[in-house]
Amino acid sequence: MKPIKLALFASGTGSNAESIIRYFEHKSTVEVVFVLSNKVHAPIVEKATSLGVHVVVCSNQEVEDTSYLVQLCQAHQIDYIILAGFLRKIPDTLIQTYPEKIINIHPSLLPKYGGAGMYGLKVHQAVKEAGETESGITIHYVSEHFDEGQRIAQFYTTISETDSPDEIQQKIHQLERTYFPIVVEKEINRFIQ
């Protein structure tokens, strides 16, 4: 059987993209075809290259273009698009071309602390300021509205009063590394069956 083809979109450090690349590295069922980044100097660009994955760097204008991403993904026969810390809005045309095939990870328990402008450390600062005793991650399909697509899975962690936003972020990254690749694989298996 032909492997399911993934494209990973990432804008930053790329710890999630890296854990997905490593998870599927030796599995014949899935192929990570390319990593797309809208930032040429993002650490993920070098990371993916050193892991032997093709990298596509594009401009924010190209991300906003209604046909660029559709054509790119179709040209590579991509089956699933995984947003691993990708901070630009996905154009509706791509969402319509890939219904329930674009998966995002968000570092909070949505619907809390989601929406435009809520990413990375900002999320954990808001969680801290609100005095939450737990936080977590949400893995969901991408819809036309930021962080509002149907949820696939959520995972929780406790937060103590003394945890700083940085420490909350570390706990969240740990959850992401543990669960994101497994949930992606489960979704793909559902598609194959």
What residues between 1 and 30 interact with ligand GAR by CB under 6 A? 10, 12-16
Contact 168, 135 (CB under 8 A): yes
The three-state DSSP-derived secondary structure of 26-37 is CCCCEEEEEEEE
* Closest-CA residue to 73 (of 102, 50, 51): 102
How far is residue 139's CA from residue 95's CA, in Å, rounded to a whole number? 16
Q: Which span sits near ligand GAR by CB under 6 A: 22-30, 102-110, 127-135, 182-190?
A: 102-110
CB of 75 to ligand GAR, least distance (A): 25
The interface with ligand GAR within residues 74-93 (CB under 6 A) comprises 84-85
- Nearest-approach distance from CB 20 to ligand GAR, in angstroms: 9
| Two tokens, residue 1 | 């059987």
161: burial class by Cβ within 10 Å (0-12, 13-18, 19+)?
Answer: exposed
30 vs 44 by CB, closer to ligand GAR: 44
- Single residue of 20, 32, 45, 106 touching ligand GAR by CB under 6 A: 106
| Residue 124 is a catalytic residue | no
Show contacts with ligand GAR in window 139-178 (CB under 6 A).
172, 176
Closest contact distance (angstroms) between CB of 40 and ligand GAR is 15
Alpha carbons 38 and 1: distance in angstroms, whole number: 32
Cβ-based nearer residue to ligand GAR, 17 or 30: 17
Q: Is the dihedral of CA 31, 63, 17, 110 positive or negative?
A: negative
Contact pick of 34, 119, 141, 179 for ligand GAR (by CB under 6 A): 119
Contact 149, 143 (CB under 8 A): yes
Check 106, 124, 140, 145 and give the catalytic one. Answer: 106
Q: How many CB atoms lie within 10 A of CB 156?
A: 11
Closest distance between ligand GAR and the C-beta of residue 192, in Å?
26
Residues interacting with ligand GAR, by CB under 6 A?
Answer: 10, 12-16, 84-85, 105-107, 119-120, 172, 176
Residues with catalytic roles = 106
